[in-house]
Structure 1
């Protein structure tokens, strides 16, 4: 059971999409406690919205506005509404969201902690750049955290959890991501979160944030029809293993799923980059898998995307290993 007051908004299964505030810097205890207080106020505001005693200028309304600004602005960044590396003024952001500058300023402070933006003097906001080095680190962290987590959490899945995962998979199948990306991605995020939701609030928060940040790169991957078809098969295999409460198989399948996405995106965007962190993470995650060695699985991942690295002439481009940088 989740600790009371920690993931108040995101833990409700009646909501189709998690709304909890995500925090990268878990060591910033003061900020963490402040967010818990804000979420409690937001919940009270939602429950007592028609209460005449709640004034427009109350702290409850202020926290509601800040959380609304946070949600809207963060989604805009993740969905690519702002070009990575671009500069945007706080005034322009406030005008676009239809909010006053104070909730926008507080929302930007939280988003900056997640690494999606940096704030400069003169109230300028710089949208963080995307890069293959960032993708390599992001997916390596997802592999390490989520595969370790599911080895415990899958054992505690309920029949209701499995039904929810099936529903998510049905929504994903009914929505072509090239046409209905938002509907697809909401179900996709939730599908992966259900499997780890019994791990505890901190695991959920950090994993959710990594999942959200991956959206900036997933849009590249979704454009590959054959890759999308393969992902659908992988999601079905993960669900089948969850039905059996086969935690080890879920961990292995998840590691391969994440690694393949990262490798394909890298091959499409910057073929000369070597994602050494992802390769190392998936090799560790697949240790002990019967019938094959870790080295074999890593090489299979490389072979699967090799065709994407080939120039029009048909020869395979050289990829340096072990450097983790551009060749």
Structure 2
């Protein structure tokens, strides 16, 4: 199962070994996440049950508490549960695929999260804005917020792993979801917003 998730390499009759962090893999992985999760939030926006809304709100508060206490294990647990609720109207098969991609990208995020605490306020606001758009039944806004949120995360992590490499795959996925600008430029935080695409 770990090999299928891309977390280890294992050959027959040989011991498994943890795969190295790979910026190209992460770029493509986040592009896939953007595509799938944007479909998920579009299908889910305005269709959460009262209990699901309460659960998602609870996960947001758990994330806040965990971050304040620097309990990153609890933060990741609440974060996974929160994002899963936002794609709740997908079929179980698609939800499993989204969860698998999120878990694969999480190992990269763990490497850099402690070094980018200055971005925690922005990340927190993005989660609350996304939650509000899904609850309010604003699918287009929810899609743009999701794309921007994931793209920003990918940009920060990949820049840490491979400075100057860029995020071509993430850019392509973001352009596909949000529409491309009149000229191709490297993706920058804030390009894909709820109001539109800014280059």
TM bin, normalised by shorter chain, reads: 0.7 to 0.9
Instruction: Write the mapping of 1:87-106 to structure 2, written as runs, cut at 5 A.
Output: none
State the Cα distance separating 1:247 from its structure 2 match: 1.4
Gaps of 5+ in 1: 1-109, 288-293, 305-327
Gaps of 5+ in 2: 191-199
Answering whether residue 19 of structure 2 is matched by residue 128 of structure 1, we say yes
Q: Which one scores higher on RCO, CA 8 angstroms, separation ≥ 6? A: 2
State the Cα distance separating 1:226 from its structure 2 match: 2.1
Larger radius of gyration: 1
Cα distance change, pair 178–167 in 1 and its aligned pair in 2 (3 A): closer
Instruction: Write the mapping of 1:224-303 to structure 2, written as runs, cut at 5 A.
Output: 224-287=116-179, 294-295=180-181, 301-302=187-188
State the Cα distance separating 1:193 from its structure 2 match: 0.4
Distance 1:178 1:218 in 2: 18
Distance 2:63 2:108 in 1: 18
Distance 1:136 1:154 in 2: 26
State the Cα distance separating 1:192 from its structure 2 match: 0.4
Distance 1:186 1:246 in 2: 26
Contact map agreement 2:59 2:79 (CA 8 A) in 1? yes
Distance 1:185 1:254 in 2: 17
State the Cα distance separating 1:177 from its structure 2 match: 7.3
| Aligned counterpart, 1:164 | 55
Contact map agreement 2:66 2:75 (CA 8 A) in 1? yes
| Aligned counterpart, 2:196 | none
Cα distance change, pair 234–227 in 1 and its aligned pair in 2 (3 A): same
Answering whether residue 36 of structure 2 is matched by residue 145 of structure 1, we say yes
Residue by residue, what CA displacement relative to the aligned partner does 1:58-79 show, whole Å, maximum 9, x if unpaired?
A: xxxxxxxxxxxxxxxxxxxxxx
Provide the aligned C-alpha RMSD in A: 2.3
Residue by residue, what CA displacement relative to the aligned partner does 1:164-206 show, whole Å, maximum 9, x if unpaired?
A: 1110000000112782111010000010000112211111110
Contact map agreement 1:117 1:125 (CA 8 A) in 2? yes
State the Cα distance separating 1:121 from its structure 2 match: 4.1
Answering whether residue 56 of structure 2 is matched by residue 176 of structure 1, we say no
Of 82, 91, 106 in structure 2, the residue corresponding to residue 215 of structure 1 is 106
State the Cα distance separating 1:122 from its structure 2 match: 3.5
Cα distance change, pair 262–303 in 1 and its aligned pair in 2 (3 A): closer
How many residues are paired up? 190
TM-score normalised by length of structure 2: 0.87
